[in-house]
């Protein structure tokens, strides 16, 4: 693989709850700090960086000292309201430590799909990027509910990140997960699972290999990442799925090192 950084200028990074929250429910400040350092450094180098961040409910649970995600939708939305504020406070603080500013965009499916509101969003993102400000995007969980025929939700932030990447014509989507790559079967269950390093098109076998989430704090899993990859491939763009334990792995990706799984040509 050739060095990706030479032709990639606009990059969307998606980070999942499993990368931001420890298994015990506490916020992983070390990962957040490294993420801020990495994205700020790349922004200073001239890259246009966007971050799609999960974690609002997880941070809300940690803020209230809770360990179990509630079943009630209203309570989940209340936790998201609490957690999103705290999450952005942490992000703002960490990015400022590296001389970078961030902005928050909370999206629902309808505003991203409706042409007029979509254009307003794209104009906002473009303006922020032109000012070297890093947009931090999340789903607007407190208002995202399926109400009659008015569908406002994304299935998860994997889908949201793919939708954002395609609509802003990003050069690359990097999905930071709790897994090193896409495997032919769940590596958490099968020690002999083999990593698939490059996927150019979707097959039934790949869908069969996809597995569910391995964390109680997130909503996504390998199935949703495969859906995001399909969106990217259909748009003739590229996505890399890799382990987000240390976000500095993004540097390796842009240097052209073999990291994770590449989706797309």
CB 161 within 8 A of CB 20: no
Q: How far apart are CA 255 and CA 265, in angstroms?
A: 18
Q: How far apart are CA 17 and CA 215, in angstroms?
A: 9
- Taking alpha carbons only, the member of 94, 240, 265, 115 closest to residue 172 is 240
Q: Mention every residue, 6+ apart, whose C-beta is less than 8 A from residue 168.
A: 10, 12, 50, 122, 125, 126
- Taking alpha carbons only, the member of 221, 220, 230, 155 closest to residue 183 is 221
Residue 54 marked ligand-binding:
yes
- Report pLDDT for 4: 52
- Report pLDDT for 154: 59
Residue 220 marked ligand-binding:
yes
Residue 222 marked ligand-binding:
yes
Residue 259 marked ligand-binding:
no
- Report pLDDT for 218: 40
Structural domains of the chain, with CATH: 4-263 (3.40.1160.10)
Tokens of 117: 């509101």
- Report pLDDT for 110: 85
- Report pLDDT for 150: 44
φ, ψ for residue 23 (rounded to 5)?
-55, -25
Residue 194 marked ligand-binding:
no
Residue 161 marked ligand-binding:
no
Residue 169 marked ligand-binding:
no
Residue 146 marked ligand-binding:
no
- Report pLDDT for 67: 84
Residue 224 marked ligand-binding:
yes
pTM for this predicted structure: 0.90
Residue 141 marked ligand-binding:
yes
Residue 177 marked ligand-binding:
yes
Q: Supply angle C-alpha 119, 124, 127, rounded to 5.
A: 125
Low-confidence ranges of the chain (pLDDT < 50): 1-3, 5-6, 147-150, 212-220
3-state secondary structure the chain: CCCHHHCCCEEEEEECHHHHECCCCCECHHHHHHHHHHHHHHHHCCCEEEEEECCHHHHHHHHCCCCCCCCCHHHHHHHHHHHHHHHHHHHHHHHHHCCCCEEEEEECHHHHHCHHHHHHHHHHHHHHHHCCCEEEEEECCCCCCEECCEECCCCCHHHHHHHHHHHCCCCEEEEEECCCCEECCCCCCCCCCCEECEECCCCHHHHHHCCCCCCCCCCCCHHHHHHHHHHHHHCCCCEEEEECCCCCHHHHHHCCCCCCEEECC
Q: How far apart are CA 65 and CA 195, in angstroms?
A: 37
- Report pLDDT for 167: 96
- Report pLDDT for 207: 78
């Amino acid at each position: 693989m050739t060095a990706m950084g030479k032709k990639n200028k606009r990059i969307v990074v998606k980070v999942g709850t499993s990368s931001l929250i420890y298994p015990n429910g506490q916020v992983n400040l070390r990962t957040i700090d490294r993420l801020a350092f990495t994205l700020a450094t790349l922004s200073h180098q001239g890259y246009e960086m966007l971050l799609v961040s999960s974690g609002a409910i997880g941070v809300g649970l940690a803020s209230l000292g809770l360990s179990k995600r509630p079943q009630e939708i209203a309570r989940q939305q209340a936790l998201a309201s609490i957690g999103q504020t705290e999450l952005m406070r942490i992000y703002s603080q960490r990015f400022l430590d590296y001389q970078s500013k961030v902005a928050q965009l909370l999206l629902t499916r309808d505003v991203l799909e409706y042409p007029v509101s979509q254009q307003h969003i794209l104009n906002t993102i473009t303006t922020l990027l032109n000012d070297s400000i890093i947009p931090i995007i999340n789903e607007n969980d407190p208002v995202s509910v399926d109400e009659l025929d008015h569908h406002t939700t994304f299935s998860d932030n994997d889908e949201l990140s793919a939708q954002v990447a395609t609509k802003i014509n990003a050069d690359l989507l990097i999905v930071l997960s709790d897994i090193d790559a896409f495997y032919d079967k769940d590596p958490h269950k099968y020690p002999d699972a083999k990593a698939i390093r490059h996927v150019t098109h979707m097959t039934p076998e790949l869908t069969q290999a996809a597995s569910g989430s391995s964390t109680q704090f997130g909503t996504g899993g390998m199935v949703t990442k495969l859906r995001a990859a399909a969106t990217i491939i259909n748009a003739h763009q590229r996505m890399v799925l890799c382990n987000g334990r240390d976000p500095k792995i993004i540097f390796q990706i842009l240097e052209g090192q073999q990291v994770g799984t590449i989706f797309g040509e």
